[in-house]
Amino acid sequence: MKDNKIVVFLIAAVGLLIVPLIAQQFGNAWVRIIDIALLYLLLALGLNIVVGYAGLLDLGYVAFYAVGAYTMGLLASGHLTETFPAIAAAFPEGLHVPILLVIPLAAGVAGLAGVLLGAPTLRLRGDYLAIVTLGFGEIIRVFLNNLDHPVNITNGPKGIGPIDPMHLFGFSLGERHELFGLDIPVVTNYYYLFLALVIISVVICYRLERSRIGRAWMAIREDEIAAKAMGINTRNMKLLAFGMGATFGGVAGVMFGGYQSFITPEAFSLPESVMIVAMVVLGGIGHIPGVVVGALLLAALPEVLRYVAGPLQQMTDGRLDASILRQLLIALAMIAIMLSRPRGLWPSPEHGRAAVVPDETPHQHLEPSEQIPPTVTAIAPTVK
């Protein structure tokens, strides 16, 4: 049994390592799709902490992604030195903060932003929380768009670029490499970096889920008042969930900034937030394998289908171009999957507890407190 597990693990590891090497045979565009999917996966894992574990529906998650990306953009591009002579004087060779410093910095800034957002919303529940976080996401975008005057900080709608490619331990990820006779293009470099981050994140999430903190979050998710009565400091725990989730978003943002080398506020609009929420919920809320499936599916599938969009575009007189088709597919997937599997594609198992079959009479679950019989509520993740 034990040996079996190791074999499976080894096969999976080798598989993950050679995926880009195979994909790049078909063109770097395919590796790029995988890279982007991994970035989304990172975001989905972060949001899963907030929505899945703590049950706080956050529709403005992309704001933290933006905070991370702009931290990277400001600290590792020529923008600040060109705008502020004082900074140019302090850093005569330009401001190029190494990535290993930017990551903790961005994680800290984003985490702080998460706590700052969390603080005034602690008393809110459910849909009110959703709409406030949504508003927060929009506010960040409006500021990014408009903070190019009177002092040019974000360069407004024009965006920031070029951002330095990442360097890790003297190894430049922005260049093509040759290793053991293998050709490693830039996109593949980033694949390995993102993969490492995703694996670290999965381990962190997995450990969190089984820790004291994770259990406290889930207690809050199921019944906040009961959790409080059990001695959980709900305020601190909710702030911690916001902060932790935001940290993931911030790190993903840094990666996005370094990877794209150019960022504009439009990359961080509401549809992105909706997409990340959709990944978490479609996959199976609060369940790591489900979230992985949801993220990879929603991020990669539409991109792959773009390549079959060519003939369709000609057939429909240019109306169905690739990006429209992608949107159409995402929308249809969101509706169809929810209608057929309301708890997600791969929901968390019910831990062997007896499931109570909900009464089939229609319209009895409209009152939230009546929505699910109490025994099931304790098992099924509900977002309040």
Residue 251 CB contacts under 8 Å (≥ 6 apart), including other chains:
42, 68, 103, 106, 107, 110, 197
Q: Which is nearer to other proteins, 65 or 136 (CB)?
A: 136
Q: Which is nearer to other proteins, 178 or 360 (CB)?
A: 360
**Pairwise CA distance, residues 23 & 353, whole Å:** 43
Report which residue type is found at 219: A
Strands (E), the chain: 167-168, 171-172, 177-179, 182-184
Name the minimum Å distance from CB 303 to other proteins: 16
Name the minimum Å distance from CB 35 to other proteins: 24
Q: Which is nearer to other proteins, 104 or 135 (CB)?
A: 135
Q: Which is nearer to other proteins, 97 or 338 (CB)?
A: 338
List interacting residues with other proteins (CB under 8 A). 57, 120-121, 123-128, 130-132, 134-136, 138-139, 142-143, 145-146, 150, 225, 270-271, 274, 277-278, 281-282, 285, 319-320, 324, 327-328, 330-335, 338-339, 342-343, 358, 360-369, 371-372, 380-384
Name the minimum Å distance from CB 27 to other proteins: 27
Name the minimum Å distance from CB 123 to other proteins: 6
CA-to-CA dists, residue 305 to 174, 205, 298, 322, 371, angstroms = 28, 31, 11, 8, 38
Name the minimum Å distance from CB 368 to other proteins: 4
Q: Which is nearer to other proteins, 150 or 170 (CB)?
A: 150
Q: Which is nearer to other proteins, 163 or 334 (CB)?
A: 334
Name the minimum Å distance from CB 55 to other proteins: 10
Residue whose structure tokens are 């880009």: 20
Q: Which is nearer to other proteins, 210 or 341 (CB)?
A: 341
CA 233 to the chain's CA centroid? 27
In 15-51, which positions are buried (b, 16+ CB within 10 angstroms) versus exposed (e)?
Answer: eeeebbeebbeeeeebbbbbbbbbbbbbbbbbbbbbb
Name the minimum Å distance from CB 305 to other proteins: 14
Contact between residue 53 and residue 241 where contact means Cβ atoms under 8 Å apart: yes
| Neighbour count for residue 263 (Cβ, 10 Å) | 24
